Amino acid sequence: MIGNRAMDESAVINWHEVERIIQSYHADRMSLLMILQDICDLYNYLPRPVVPLVAERLEVKESLIYSVATFYKSISLEPRGKYIISVCTGTACHVRGADKVMETIEDKLHIKEGQSTDDLLFTLQAVRCLGCCASGPVVMVDKEIHGGIDRSRAEKLLEQYKGEGR
Ligand code: FES
């Protein structure tokens, strides 16, 4: 699992592209959230080395950027997998066995909730009610909802996305 940032994040940053994103919003500090979101879309997370550049261009403090990044769940400061697996742990899904689904996925991916696989194919997270309680237990992979998930279907789901991710 990805714990500490072992890789050199700076090496993978396309500075030209980050600059293009900033300038597409005219380096307007009022667009900070959108700029951070666009950079996240590019890398699936917000690499810390871009923070000083964004701060300089928008003339804001780095601490403001970190505050925004930690406030919004859609922005992560940690590398995230290509596929975000969200296991619903809301009440309806919980009583139908969401904990077993989570356990199965953790076992199969050798990670715990909140972590990402070493190959950055998957990030696993728990979420509260995805709004389709009648289909529980529910798992969302990126924006795709999968209902009626049990241990066996959870394993098949992982195999399906592993196949697509290769
Ligand atoms: S509790 Fe899981 S979708 Fe509502």
- Could you list the mean pLDDT of each consecutive 10-residue stretch along the chain, which spans 166 residues? 54 90 97 96 91 97 96 87 94 96 98 93 93 95 93 96 76
Look at residue 165 in the predicted model and tell me its pLDDT.
63
Whole-prediction pTM value? 0.75
- Ligand 1 center–CA 119 separation, angstroms: 29
Look at residue 108 in the predicted model and tell me its pLDDT.
97
- Ligand 1 center–CA 159 separation, angstroms: 24
Q: Which amino acid is at 135?
A: S
Look at residue 7 in the predicted model and tell me its pLDDT.
54
Q: Which residue's C-alpha comes closest to atom 3 of ligand 1?
A: 133
* Ligand 1 neighbours by CB, cut-off 6 Å: 88, 90-93, 129-133, 136, 138
CB atoms inside a 10 Å sphere around CB 166: 6
Look at residue 79 in the predicted model and tell me its pLDDT.
87
When computed from its CA atoms, the radius of gyration of the chain, rounded to whole angstroms, is 18
Dihedral sign (CA 131, 137, 142, 145):
negative
| First-residue to last-residue Cα distance in the chain | 19
Look at residue 2 in the predicted model and tell me its pLDDT.
47
